[in-house]
Amino acid sequence: MTAKILIVEDESKIADLLRLWLEQASYTCVTATSGLEALQMFYYARPSLVILDIALPQMDGWKVCERIREMSDVPIMMLTAKTDEADKVRGLGMGADDYVTKPFSFPELVARVQALLRRASRPATGELNGKVQIYQQADLWLDTTNHQATLHGKELKLTRTEFKLLAFLVQHAGQLLSHNQILEAVWGPTYRDELDSLRMYIRNLRRKLEEDHGDHHYIETEHGIGYRFVKTS
């Protein structure tokens, strides 16, 4: 069975091309040209992924994203002409999984759709809830019950907060996480503006991770936006 994709785009030229490219990659497509129609199609068609334009008639893409998130964790890819980084952060904060700026390359978009669907089909790795969970990204092991991290078979000495930060990054390996998302998850909602302390923690974490193996970079910086833990599959 092929995955069904909902395309929400009021510019018919772009919508048609998207459909063409995605169908060629053997996905099934349904389309909507307004925010309200998008929600109707979402209920009706139950897509596996949503490509969502931001500037839409009736209800904009942000609102649609919010509504969809109230009922589903389906992967959402935002599509927009805006290049403002604040918008990118907003999109990720509001529950979008990826963000593509127009004009975009269709093959690249298809590749990103494939990546999002692959990520969504994997079982959730769970939250930091004290159960025995060991995450492995290459040579890095985390035991969230005992708060222990091992790198190349050696114990990694981390503070409690460093551990929490690392676990959150590893759980979302491959995903770009905004500063706010990280601050909220690791420190709590009242720490949203503590960008300097986040930077400091990231710096310390990198130093500890990359001490003996400086050639391998675990954490990528997306300037003005956030961080991504490199996925090693």
Cβ proximity to Ca ion, 88 vs 228, nearer residue: 88
Asked if 15 and 51 count as a contact pair (C-beta separation under 8 A), the reply is: no
81 binds Ca ion (CB under 5 A): no
Residue number closest to Ca ion, CB atom: 55
- Shortest approach of Ca ion to residue 33 CB, angstroms? 9
87 binds Ca ion (CB under 5 A): no
55 binds Ca ion (CB under 5 A): yes
Of 29-37, 55-63, 83-91, 106-114, the window that binds Ca ion (rule: CB under 5 A) is 55-63
Cβ proximity to Ca ion, 80 vs 175, nearer residue: 80
Sequence-ordered strand ranges (E) for 44-169: 49-53, 76-80, 98-101, 134-137, 140-143, 148-151, 154-156
Name which of residues 111 to 170 contact Ca ion (CB under 5 A). none
Q: Residue count at the site for Ca ion (CB under 5 A)?
A: 3
For residue 44, what are the contacts with CB-CB under 8 A and spacing of at least 6?
none
For residue 232, what are the contacts with CB-CB under 8 A and spacing of at least 6?
137, 138, 173
Single residue of 15, 35, 48, 53 touching Ca ion by CB under 5 A: 53
Cβ proximity to Ca ion, 102 vs 199, nearer residue: 102
10 binds Ca ion (CB under 5 A): yes
Interacting residues toward Ca ion by CB under 5 A: 10, 53, 55
